[in-house]
Amino acid sequence: MKAYIFPGQGAQFTGMGKDLYEKSNDAKNLFENANSILGFRITDLMFAGTEEDLKQTRVTQPAIFLHSTILATILGSSFKPDMVAGHSLGEFSSLVANKTLTFNDGLILVSKRAKAMQKACEKTPSTMAAILGLDDKIVEEVCSSINAVVVPANYNSPGQIVISGSIEGIDIAIKILTAKGAKRAIKLAVGGAFHSPLMEPARLELEEAINNTTFNKPVCPVYQNVSAKPSNDPEVIKANLVSQLTSPVRWTQSVLNMISDGATSFVEVGPGCVLSGLIKKVNREIITESASFGI
C-alpha cells in the first residue's frame, strides 16, 4: 500500500513551484487562481522572493500548501493514495489530496489559519525548541514539571521531539533537558509557540472558519496529527483539525500506525524531503520517494 505525505512549515525555498508553473498549464491556472483568492501575487514571492519574504507566516503556509496540492493535482492518474497524512500545515494539503476539501476551500482555510497564528504569536512572546537524543517520556515529564507554559509539540521521530511554549518555559526546559543528557537542545527560528495552549486564540478563530466549510467524505483515510489514527468521517476530521493548533503533532505515531495498517512505501508531495528523512528514522526498511512532475 502506498501512503502520500505532505510537509509543513519549514520546507519552503525560493523558486518553489516555478517549474510546475512553467511546465503545466493546469498548474499555471491553479497558481493564478490562488493569486486571486489570496489578493496578492504569492507566485512572485514563491518564485523570486527572498528568504525573509518566505518566512512570513501569511506567505509560508499557503506557499507550501500550493506547492503540495498543485503537484498532487497535476500528477493525475499516477496519484493513487491508499492513505494520506500531513505534518501540521501539511494536514490541510492531505485533505485536498484525498478530496475532503476542495482546492479553493483548503487555500482559504490555510490563509485564515496563517493569519490567526500570526496574531496569536504577536499577542504572547513565545518560541519552540528541538530536543534531540532523549526518550519522549523524559521530555514529557520535564515539560509537565515546569511552572510555565511548555509542552511537547512535534513528535518527529524517535529521539527527536520539538517543545513549544513561553520563552521562560522553553529556557528552563532547555537547561533541564541538557542536564538530563539531551544531545542537542536548540531554540528554533519560529514566530511563536505552535501546537501549544498559547495558540488558543488562533484555534477559536479557525474553528469558526472550519465549521463554516464543507468537508466531504474522503476517498482514502487521513492519519491525523492529533490522534495519529485514520479518519474517514468528515465530522471527526473537522474536530481533529480544530484541535491540531493547540495539540501535539504525533508524526512518529502516525507513521508507525500507517506501517502497521499496511503502508509499504511513502511518497512525499511538496517542497523538500524532510518527512522522508523522518520516516527513515522511524523505520529504515520503508521505501520513501519524492513526487515529481517531469522534472
Domain range annotation of the chain: 2-122+197-290, 125-187
* pLDDT number for residue 190: 84
* pLDDT number for residue 292: 77
* pLDDT number for residue 162: 98
CATH class of 2-122+197-290: alpha beta
CATH architecture of 125-187: 2-Layer Sandwich (3.30)
Per-residue pLDDT averaged across 30-55, rounded? 95
The model's pLDDT over 187-219, given as tens digits with 9 standing for 90+, comes to 998 889 999 999 999 999 999 999 999 999 999
The dihedral formed by the CA atoms of 114, 119, 121 and 125, expressed in degrees to the nearest 10: 170
Q: Which residues have C-beta within 8 Å of that of residue 27, sequence separation ≥ 6?
A: 17, 20, 21, 70, 71, 73, 74, 293
23 has a pLDDT exceeding 70: yes
Out of 195, 196, 231, 247, the active site residue is 195
- Assign residue 230 a region (left: φ > 0; alpha: ψ between -120 and 50; beta: otherwise): beta
pLDDT-derived band at 294 (thresholds 50, 70, 90) equals low
Out of 88, 126, 166, 247, the active site residue is 88
Domains 2-122+197-290 and 125-187 share a fold: no
Catalytic residue flag (residue 24): no
* pLDDT number for residue 257: 98
Q: How many CA atoms lie within 13 A of 170 on its CB side?
A: 24
Per-residue pLDDT averaged across 139-143, rounded? 98
Catalytic residue flag (residue 67): no
- Assign residue 208 a region (left: φ > 0; alpha: ψ between -120 and 50; beta: otherwise): alpha
144 has a pLDDT exceeding 60: yes
* pLDDT number for residue 246: 98
